[in-house]
Amino acid sequence: MKILVQKFGGTSVANLECMKKVREKVLAGLARGNKMVVVLSARSGETNRLLALADEWSNTPDKAECDVLVSTGEQVSIALFTMLLKDAGVRARSLLGWQIPMTTDDDYGRARITDIDSAKLRAALEEYDVLVVAGFQGCTEDGRITTLGRGGSDTSAVALAAALGSVECEIYTDVDGVYTTDPNICSTARKMDRVAYEEMLEMASMGAKVLHIRSVEFAKKYKVPVRVRSTFTDDPGTLVTQEDSSMEALLVSGIAYDKDQARVTLHEVPDVPGIAAAVFGPLSEKGVLVDMIVQNTSLDGHTDITFTVSRKDLNQTLAIMDEVARKIGASEVVHDVNVAKVSAIGVGMRNHSGVAARAFAALTQEGINILMISTSEIKITILIQEKYVELAVRILHDTFGLDWDIN
């Protein structure tokens, strides 16, 4: 049995007209001889509307009940879409998470998939040609409804593709693929034909919001090729797949940026063992994610520690740091919210040196001051003043020749 998994996001199922476009894609998949599993999101705006309702009803909405509430968005989509398929004479039925079942842990609001009953799905595919599955939701072992976190329908789709051995998982959205950078700020941004899982992970975590990050982790782990493409065109989109030598030939594949950064510095921290733990322990206890970290070399037994957090976590971070600073004897805590980070990403960096130097030289030429730097095997990240982000993205995009069509 040849099975194809297709997933359609909120803008693709927003109204009847869009859903008819979706039906065309599904019919085309059937015509190619596939049995189909179609995963749908809630119609655009619906999940936000439901979450706002929860906040209106309760100051501290119960997490488990929130999942019962927000999962209804997808239920509406799959029922309506299955009606459309049946009107076209297709043997189809809808399936909610608990009907599969798509089993998860009980971390409501961001549950993880632990098991999918693929035998049951295969049996259903003997009887039906299309199974229309509610994305974003699952259920615990004792039958309570869960959701997988915002954007989680991508993960539902990739998990189903892995469980069913789908040749490819097609993720349909309102853009025609993954771009070398944000086309809204760089007019020469180019759609990529292929991108490696690891590059995509870095891009997603930098806020290239095309795919749910967990779906990419899943795809990488189970080697599911994922094709990001548009519901509204016939473009083949971008294939997210395993790295190969043609990808390595490129130094840099994409430039990502993130304006959701705030910088915090503790001055004159005693340079003794246990200080970093004293600073970052209390932050992680409160669930604050720390991004970049830099510690200077010590002068007179003292050093500075600088790190960045998401802007929404800044106030909480500063409150925690005031206490930490007093405890460890730091002289002061300063912060800056007008910062942003820009990253150059590419698996090709593994085998080439000098990429960082080229990036720094290009930025220097434009007079952009670099506040912090961090590097990994396939990524160089710099923190700069927010007002230079667009310029920095364009410079790096140009420096690494991303606007040339090398294919």
Query: How remote is the C-alpha of 151 from its chain's centroid?
Result: 8
Q: Which does 146 bind (CB under 5 to 8 A by kind): ligand ASP, Mg ion, none?
A: none
CB of 331 to Mg ion, least distance (A): 45
Query: How far is 149 from 155, CA to CA, in rounded Å?
Result: 10
Q: Tell me the number of residues near Mg ion by CB under 5 A.
A: 2
Q: Which of 10, 101, 138, 177 binds ligand ASP (CB under 6 A)?
A: 10
Is there a contact between 177 and 103 (Cβ–Cβ < 8 Å)?
Answer: no
**DSSP code of 191?**
B
Query: How far is 156 from 308, CA to CA, in rounded Å?
Result: 31
Q: Which of 150, 191, 335, 358 binds ligand ASP (CB under 6 A)?
A: 150
CB of 136 to ligand ASP, least distance (A): 4
Q: Which does 198 bind (CB under 5 to 8 A by kind): Mg ion, ligand ASP, none?
A: none
Query: How far is 221 from 381, CA to CA, in rounded Å?
Result: 25
Binders in 311-340 for ligand ASP, by CB under 6 A: none
Tokens for 236? 């083949």
Residue 258, SS3?
strand
Q: Which does 47 bind (CB under 5 to 8 A by kind): Mg ion, ligand ASP, none?
A: ligand ASP
Rank residues 73 and 254 by Cβ distance to ligand ASP and give the closer one: 73
CB of 300 to ligand ASP, least distance (A): 51
Query: How far is 226 from 203, CA to CA, in rounded Å?
Result: 15
Q: Which does 136 bind (CB under 5 to 8 A by kind): Mg ion, ligand ASP, none?
A: ligand ASP
Rank residues 73 and 151 by Cβ distance to Mg ion and give the closer one: 151
Residue 272, SS3?
coil
CB of 63 to ligand ASP, least distance (A): 16
Is 386 exposed, middle or buried, given 0-12, 13-18 or 19+ CB atoms closer than 10 A?
Answer: middle
Rank residues 51 and 293 by Cβ distance to ligand ASP and give the closer one: 51
Rank residues 10 and 29 by Cβ distance to ligand ASP and give the closer one: 10
Binding mask 340-379 for ligand ASP (x = CB under 6 A): ----------------------------------------
Q: Which of 73, 97, 138, 151 binds Mg ion (CB under 5 A)?
A: 151
Rank residues 153 and 261 by Cβ distance to ligand ASP and give the closer one: 153
Cα angle vertex 377, ends 236, 395, to 5°?
65
Residue 151 sits in the site that holds ligand ASP (CB under 6 A): yes
Binding mask 31-50 for ligand ASP (x = CB under 6 A): ----------xx----x---
Query: How far is 396 from 379, CA to CA, in rounded Å?
Result: 13
Binders in 109-148 for ligand ASP, by CB under 6 A: 135-136
DSSP secondary structure of 49-115: HHHHHHHHH-SS--HHHHHHHHTHHHHHHHHHHHHHHHHTT--EEEE-GGGTTEEE-S-TTS--EEE
Q: Which does 42 bind (CB under 5 to 8 A by kind): Mg ion, ligand ASP, none?
A: ligand ASP
Sign of the C-alpha dihedral, residues 181, 182, 187, 193? positive
Binding mask 68-107 for ligand ASP (x = CB under 6 A): -----x----------------------------------
Residue 307, SS3?
strand
Query: How far is 161 from 231, CA to CA, in rounded Å?
Result: 19
Rank residues 218 and 400 by Cβ distance to ligand ASP and give the closer one: 218
Query: How far is 274 from 277, CA to CA, in rounded Å?
Result: 5
User: For binding to Mg ion (CB under 5 A), which residues are involved?
Assistant: 9, 151
User: For binding to ligand ASP (CB under 6 A), which residues are involved?
Assistant: 9-10, 41-42, 47, 73, 135-136, 150-154
